[in-house]
Structure 1
Amino acid sequence: MVNVDAGGGDRLALAVVVQYRMATTEQMHLLTAPGVRIEQTRRRLAKLRAEGLVDRITLPQAGRTRVWFPTEYGARIAASWPELRNCAPRLRRGSDPTAVRLAAGHGLTVTETALAFVQDARRRGDVCMPLDWIPEVHHPLGNGEAVIPDGLFYYERRSQNRDGGDGWRLLRAFVEVDRATMGPERLSAKVGAYARLHAYVPVPGGRTPPRRYGAEQQEAAWKRRCPLFPRLLFVLDGTGPEASSTVSRRSTPRPDKRPRPDSCVRFRSWSRRWPICWGTDPRHLCGAPFTTSVSA
């Protein structure tokens, strides 16, 4: 068959805009078509806009940077695609210019974080595709509370088998991004929320029973995506070196075995000088071993 995938580039671009909720022209180019000239990405986005699938705003304070976001029509079309099946239901709605403008600082930093993992995988020969980053998945804790990480990413790392052959190791992590808007106390409290998520067992009626209830237990939402509890990575943007050490220190495991982050890394906005996130030991994500009972 000829030209059966003629719209493949348009489809990927729309899927990325819908899943990420917002991205600059440069981010879209590096995520979806880094091997071509950026003018081709601009033309593709302009075409999608003319078709009513995406729209854009301009940030004058950022060198007139254009930020793309899905319209309600575009989100509705993409929501039926199998590659977006794991996308959070609330992300399948379109955005409006005002909402995008007010959320651009955090939203674009989250997109930049995902882009860093995708680019690092390309350099290393690993696998982390643009849609392997799933943002804002709702994980209920009962009593109306929930954990909503900025992203859940899947990363396949090339490794060597014992016989010397090539193998693959699937790494997963919840990612929390902070732009110096929260103090160490609130950031540390997020770690406790993930400990509660690990222990949470849903039952009919919304009660949270102890684990001994066995037969009444239902499967937690995160178990439908990951066989083991993902690691936890904090990305601190616009903070000094003391911030990451403070969060790590305050999140040190206590006798109740609450987990601490695998890593707290600093992220310089728009520099793309991403700190290497993989330790020399391939068994452990983001540096030092994660020694608590919730380690994947």
Structure 2
Amino acid sequence: MPTAPVCRPSLSRLAQELLPVLYTHRLLTAAQLNRLLRPQTTSNRYMRSQLQALQEHGLADATVRHHNHVGELLWYATALGADAIEAGQELPSRSYRITERAAASALQEHTLAINETGLAMTEHARRLGDECGPLSWDMEVLHRVRDGARHGDEAWLTPDAVLRYTRTDGNERRLLNFFIEVDRTTMSVARLAAKLHAYARYATYIPQPAPGRSRHSTNGDLVQEAWRERYPTLPRILIVLTGAPEPVLARRAWDLRALAAADTRLQRAAARTPLQAGVTSLGLLGKHGPFAPIVTPLLGEDATATDVLLQPRSPAAV
């Protein structure tokens, strides 16, 4: 998916393509942007010059990365840059804009890890002849999971990102949607399992009709799960672990699978709906790609490693 350029005669083509990416993905390094938009080059020098041009126009700004990266800058779209994108109406408006304060906050590494996940998918898509581009994932998209204002469970599910990927296999093209959750080993496995529970609620959530309205749609059919109005199929859940050595991440994956097996609501939802979930590491995803056997299924009896499609591997492939 190509980026939507910002039409300013004084800016280069690359600078105009940069701003929508910064607006969409909140916070990126020059190296990440180079991999997204100029994958044929290894030097970040020209990319940094174009970022500085955006900065001189007040459209982008940078903050210093805090975590073990001395002097590295993280780039984001300013309020003026966001206004320019929204005025062009080429991209959906985001409810959340990153501010100078947010850019410098403790959320830096989590945001970068989400974008690194999208980057890994994009880079492997290029190698495979698939489609997943610089604007193929959106962060923190709200999904309602219950009606009313009662206390208790949250009313909204907010994945770290929703990613779109078009898989090409011969003459067949397949649109895949993923709910991405990234864990930098900063939350407990129990909290990760609670996120899976929220996805079970979304998979089974049927909106209540407004007062005085029928539970049937205008064509007489029963109102179905909310996700059917938004996606052609229920997106697969992909939990991506990072922030620790691979053996530690592998143990977390198996602990998460054990907790998922003990969640009766999650198991019921998986039996009633096309709910699928798996866990892998960012290191494995980046090294081997999404269609290698790097994903541990979190639902079902078969725990054999598979790919992001979360389908059992054929005997010939084992």
- Asked if the contact 1:138/1:148 (under 8 Å) is kept, the reply is yes
SS at match of 1:215: coil
Give 1:59 shift.
2.2
Note the residue ranges of structure 2 that are not aligned, 5 or more in a row: 1-6, 294-305, 313-318
- Asked if the contact 2:65/2:104 (under 8 Å) is kept, the reply is no
Give 1:62 shift.
1.0
- Within 2, Cα distance between the matches of 1:126 and 1:83? 23
Give 1:35 shift.
2.5
State the one-letter code of the partner of 2:166: E
- Within 1, Cα distance between the matches of 2:35 and 2:233? 31
SS at match of 1:149: coil
Give 1:71 shift.
0.8
Question: Corresponding residue for 2:129?
Answer: 125
Matched, 1:140 2:144: yes
- Within 2, Cα distance between the matches of 1:170 and 1:285? 16
Matched, 1:153 2:163: yes
Matched, 1:57 2:63: yes
Give 1:104 shift.
0.3
SS at match of 2:207: coil
Normalised to the residue count of structure 2, the TM-score between the two structures is 0.75
Q: For each residue in 1:219-276, what CA deviation from the matched residue of structure 2 results, as whole angstroms up to 9, or x when unmatched?
A: 87644542111110000112412001111222137475234753211224xx984343
Question: Corresponding residue for 2:260?
Answer: 251
Question: Corresponding residue for 1:167?
Answer: 172
- Asked if the contact 1:70/1:94 (under 8 Å) is kept, the reply is yes
Gap change, CA 1:251 and 1:27, over 3 Å in 2: same
- Within 2, Cα distance between the matches of 1:228 and 1:81? 30
Question: Corresponding residue for 1:33?
Answer: 38
State the one-letter code of the partner of 2:165: Y
- Within 2, Cα distance between the matches of 1:288 and 1:40? 40
Matched, 1:116 2:120: yes
CA RMSD of aligned residues (A): 3.0
- Asked if the contact 2:253/2:279 (under 8 Å) is kept, the reply is yes
* Percent of aligned pairs with the same amino acid: 27
Question: Corresponding residue for 1:264?
Answer: 279
Give 1:179 shift.
0.8
User: Which of 97, 104, 107 is 2:108 aligned to?
Assistant: 104
User: Which of 10, 21, 24 is 1:19 aligned to?
Assistant: 24
User: Which of 69, 74, 80 is 1:67 aligned to?
Assistant: 74
Count of residue correspondences: 270
State the one-letter code of the partner of 2:113: T
Give 1:81 shift.
3.8
Worse-superposed segment, 25-34 or 252-261: 252-261
Q: How does 1:68-107 map to 2 (within 5 A)?
A: 68-85=75-92, 89-91=94-96, 93-107=97-111
- Within 1, Cα distance between the matches of 2:172 and 2:95? 36
Gap change, CA 1:48 and 1:222, over 3 Å in 2: farther
- Within 2, Cα distance between the matches of 1:246 and 1:204? 39
Gap change, CA 1:5 and 1:223, over 3 Å in 2: farther
- Within 2, Cα distance between the matches of 1:98 and 1:63? 19
- Within 2, Cα distance between the matches of 1:227 and 1:48? 38
Note the residue ranges of structure 1 that are not aligned, 5 or more in a row: 161-165, 291-296
